Amino acid sequence: MSAKIIDGKAFAATVREKVAGHVSRLKEVHGITPGLAVVLVGEDPASEVYVRNKGKQTLEAGMNSYEHKLPEDTPEADLLALVETLNDDPAVHGILVQLPLPKHIDEEKVINAIAPAKDVDGFHILNVGLLGTGQKAMVPCTPLGCLMMLRDHHGSLSGLNAVVVGRSNIVGKPMAQLLLRDSCTVTIAHSRTKDLAEVCRRADILVAAVGRPEMIPGDWVKPGATVIDVGINRIPAPEKGEGKTRLVGDVEFESAKDVAGAITPVPGGVGPMTIACLLANTVTACCRENNLPEPE
């Protein structure tokens, strides 16, 4: 039997619709328009596409979007000064500094300079600590999107065996924290994990966040498991013509879909949920700032 394909694109559209509803109530009832500031340093083409999409979707949800594009050679002190200005700007409820930053800038220093209440990426050390101790945090967007899809599919995640492959600060670790918070039994695997195939085969929920094209084949997947593929990898696609490429995940979709109970595709799975959750986090930050009830 073939797995249910979890349609992240459609799910993200419903999240964005809910966000737009909250935004219009905030405007009409309270006269507040949530604002998201996105800072891009340098000219990384992938980052430029992300930033453009974020700005477009922010406006479509009825919020204010503030884009700050700085040259590649911007001194760290100038970037920190801009973050300070945004921290103090009451029209800005969320701040996102697009990563990666140029080599001469200390990413951790910049992330930790963002006011934690405006840290809609959830990477500030305070938010990491709040999430780790089960307190009210800003939650990183990609793992939050994964959790929403898992809850939607399973209802309760309590007692399920979850394996997260990847231990990065932006995906793997916060994903594991969220699954633990929902009472999964969580294993975090990484490049030094012994017998990864066996570890994966124990997973009722398998989250792949590695960055290696189609590394996880179908025979690593437990029959009926839910597979969330975070990986976005561009590989050559000669079948589409010379020099053409296509996107694949970290999971070998064709073999995994015959074993899994449900699976996210790449593209069209986790990716669209990330921006939708960024918009949701901005509304949450705006509500907290104004002591208003938060969207669920």
Active site residues: 54, 98, 121
Q: Which two tokens stand for residue 80?
A: 């920190």
Least distance to ligand NDP, CB of residue 44, Å: 13
Residue 191 near ligand NDP by CB under 6 A: yes
User: In angstroms, what is the minimal distance from the CB of 187 to ligand NDP?
Assistant: 12
Q: Among the candidate windows 15-23, 129-137, 209-217, 288-296, which touches ligand NDP by CB under 6 A?
A: 209-217
Q: Is 122 in the site for ligand NDP (CB under 6 A)?
A: no
Judged by CB under 6 A, does residue 232 bind ligand NDP? Answer: yes
As a whole number of angstroms, the distance between CA 62 and CA 113 comes to 27
x/- string (CB under 6 A) for ligand NDP, residues 129-168? -------------x----------------------xxxx
Question: What is the CA angle 14-228-201, rounded to 5?
Answer: 155
77 with 41: CB under 8 angstroms? no
Cβ 225 vs Cβ 260: under 8 Å: yes
Confirm or reject binding of residue 209 to ligand NDP (CB under 6 A).
Answer: yes
Q: How far apart are CA 94 and CA 22, in angstroms?
A: 16
**Min. distance of Cβ 236 from ligand NDP in angstroms?**
16
Residue 296: exposed, middle, or buried by beta-carbon count in 10 A (0-12, 13-18, 19+)?
exposed
How buried is 122 (Cβ within 10 angstroms: 0-12 exposed, 13-18 middle, 19+ buried)? buried
Which residues on neighbouring strands pair with residue 247, listed in sequence order? 234
Shortest CB 207 distance to ligand NDP, Å: 10
Binding site members: 166-168, 232
78/104 Cα distance (integer angstroms): 12
Rounded to the nearest whole angstrom, what is the least distance from the CB of residue 211 to ligand NDP in the complex? Answer: 3
Helix ranges (DSSP H) in 31-100: 45-60, 76-88
Stretch of 11-19, 26-34, 64-72, 227-235 lying at the interface with ligand NDP (CB under 6 A): 227-235
Gap between the Cα atoms of 199 and 188, Å rounded: 10
Asked if residues 224 and 261 have their Cβ atoms less than 8 Å apart, the reply is yes
Among the listed residues 104, 190, 234, 240, the single contact to ligand NDP using CB under 6 A: 190
Tokens in use for 277?
């959750």
- Cβ closest to ligand NDP, residue 27 vs residue 153: 153
Which range of residues in 71-79, 117-125, 170-178, 284-292 is near ligand NDP by CB under 6 A?
A: 170-178
User: Which range touches ligand NDP (CB under 6 A), out of 25-33, 58-66, 111-119, 208-216?
Assistant: 208-216
| Shortest separation between residue 289's beta carbon and ligand NDP, angstroms | 26
Q: Which residues pair with 97 in a beta bridge?
A: 39
* C-alpha–C-alpha distance, residues 210 and 172, integer Å: 9
Q: In this chain, which residue has its C-beta nearest to ligand NDP?
A: 168
Report if residue 211 touches ligand NDP, rule: CB under 6 A: yes
Q: How many residues bind ligand NDP (CB under 6 A)?
A: 25
Q: Which residues are annotated as a binding site for NADP(+)?
A: 166-168, 232
Interface residue list for ligand NDP (CB under 6 A): 142, 165-168, 170-172, 189-193, 196, 209-212, 230-233, 270-271, 274
